[in-house]
């Protein structure tokens, strides 16, 4: 048997095929999934921006970028669960203002960091429960319910203060949440606390969504609520859980925001809900429910943040950020409509 024959047998052997399969699977993931395409676009954008601006790839700018997207990502984690569960929450933008004002007033009154954080989280729980109760109890579309809640919370924020609630407590730990760093890590640098909090939230809910029963229930309820109910799943309970998680994570991001700004502002969060929902849809979630991953949401948030960061570094008029974000949201909606038609055809 010659050498050529040996090589021929080796190519067709199980060992040869096994080395090809991972590569074929990777190629399929990169070019045929929403997450893979987003990763390729993000990498290409990073390469282009690195060539156009030497500052882009610097350690300082990377952590600035990650800090900037932290609020969007934390809220988008909750929104991903909610949209996968076939609901949506438009009130997360106004929560940035309402929770920020109430939490800062609590901090000023008590000079206690945990009291302020507890009030912020409690506000998120209450808003989530109200949204869930009106949506599920009265069978009103969540889009309408949370649109009304958006206006109510914004009005309350304006009622509680004329402009902004300034920091009157001077708690060092409070400021660290928004602009502080953890200890220096060799080879990595000083990591901002908002980035650490975002990473913890992402990992915790990624495990919940992919490795737990409640995660499987979220997909089941979003994919087919009637079938899930017949299987013994509490549709009401699962959707209420998603609403509350979204409210709590929006409150956490609002708390980080006031720590960064050193004040609670009643005009905070305008358009924030569109950024969050647009990122979740761009990441592969569907308004029809039952689809979406936190990895896709993370990649979409990174892509949007990198685009905005590049616009600033290249000296382009910052007003283009709004146009770019609007275009991204339009693309996300079109992709969602395309996925929904494809499912209907099947």
β-sheet bridge partners, residue 181: 192
User: What pLDDT does 8 receive?
Assistant: 40
Residues 6+ apart with CB under 8 A from 343: 288
β-sheet bridge partners, residue 265: 164
- Closest by CA to 85, choosing from 250, 199, 208, 254, is 208
Cα gap 113→107, rounded to integer Å: 6
For the chain, which residues make up each domain, given as ranges?
A: 35-341
* Pair of tokens at residue 214: 């409640």
User: What pLDDT does 12 receive?
Assistant: 43
User: What pLDDT does 322 receive?
Assistant: 80
CB 202, CB 73: distance < 8 Å: yes
User: If you search the block for the tokens 């290409």, which residue do you land on?
Assistant: 44
Angle between helices 113-132 and 142-160 (to 10 degrees): 140
Cα gap 184→326, rounded to integer Å: 38
Cα gap 320→36, rounded to integer Å: 27
User: What pLDDT does 62 receive?
Assistant: 92
Cα gap 31→331, rounded to integer Å: 18
CB 254, CB 95: distance < 8 Å: yes
- Closest by CA to 38, choosing from 296, 330, 215, 269, is 296
User: If you search the block for the tokens 């685009």, which residue do you land on?
Assistant: 307
User: What pLDDT does 20 receive?
Assistant: 58
Cα gap 168→18, rounded to integer Å: 64
For the chain, strand residue ranges (E) read 164-166, 263-265
**Helix (H, G, I), strand (E, B), or coil: what is residue 11?**
helix
CA 117 from chain centre, in angstroms, equals: 20
**How many residues appear in the chain?**
346
**pLDDT beneath 70, residues of the chain:** 1-21, 339-340, 342-346
**Helix (H, G, I), strand (E, B), or coil: what is residue 105?**
helix
- How many other β-carbons are positioned within 10 Å of the β-carbon of residue 102? 24
User: If you search the block for the tokens 């590049």, which residue do you land on?
Assistant: 310
CA 54 from chain centre, in angstroms, equals: 28
CATH topology (fold) of 35-341: ABC transporter involved in vitamin B12 uptake, BtuC (1.10.3470)
DSSP for 228-291, please give it.
HHHTT--HHHHHHHHHHHHHHHHHHHHHHHHHHHTEEETTTTTTHHHHHHHHHHHTT--TTSS-
Cα gap 141→194, rounded to integer Å: 33
Q: What are phi and psi of 286, to 5 degrees?
A: -125, 140
């Amino acid at each position: 048997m010659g050498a050529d024959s040996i090589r021929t047998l080796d190519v067709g052997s199980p060992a040869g095929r096994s080395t090809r399969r991972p590569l074929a699977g990777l190629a399929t993931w990169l070019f045929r999934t929403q997450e893979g395409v987003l990763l390729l676009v993000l990498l290409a954008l990073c390469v282009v921006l690195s060539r156009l601006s030497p500052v882009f790839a610097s350690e300082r700018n990377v952590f600035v970028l990650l800090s900037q997207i932290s609020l969007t990502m934390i809220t988008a984690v909750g929104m991903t669960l909610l949209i996968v569960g076939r609901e949506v929450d438009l009130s997360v933008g106004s929560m940035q203002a309402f929770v920020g004002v109430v939490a800062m007033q609590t901090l000023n009154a008590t000079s206690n960091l945990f009291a302020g954080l507890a009030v912020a989280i409690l506000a998120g729980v209450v808003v989530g429960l109200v949204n869930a109760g009106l949506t599920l109890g009265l069978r009103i579309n969540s889009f309408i319910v949370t649109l009304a809640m958006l206006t109510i919370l914004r009005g309350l924020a304006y009622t509680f203060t004329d402009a902004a609630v300034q920091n009157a407590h001077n708690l060092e730990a409070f400021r660290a949440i928004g602009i502080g760093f953890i200890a220096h890590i060799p080879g990595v640098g000083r990591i901002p606390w908002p980035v650490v909090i975002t990473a913890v939230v992402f990992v915790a809910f990624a495990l919940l969504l992919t490795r737990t029963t409640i995660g499987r229930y979220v997909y089941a309820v979003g994919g087919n609520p009637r079938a899930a109910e017949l299987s013994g799943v509490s549709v009401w309970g699962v959707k209420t859980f998603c609403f509350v998680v979204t409210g709590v994570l929006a409150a956490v991001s609002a708390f980080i925001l006031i720590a960064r700004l050193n004040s609670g502002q009643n005009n905070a969060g305008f358009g924030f809900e569109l950024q969050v929902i647009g990122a979740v849809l761009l990441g592969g979630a569907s308004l029809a429910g039952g689809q979406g991953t936190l990895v896709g949401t993370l990649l979409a948030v990174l892509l949007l943040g990198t685009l905005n960061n590049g616009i600033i570094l290249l000296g382009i008029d910052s007003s283009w950020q709004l146009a770019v974000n609007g275009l991204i949201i339009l693309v996300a909606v079109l992709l969602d409509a395309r996925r929904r038609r494809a499912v209907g055809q099947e």
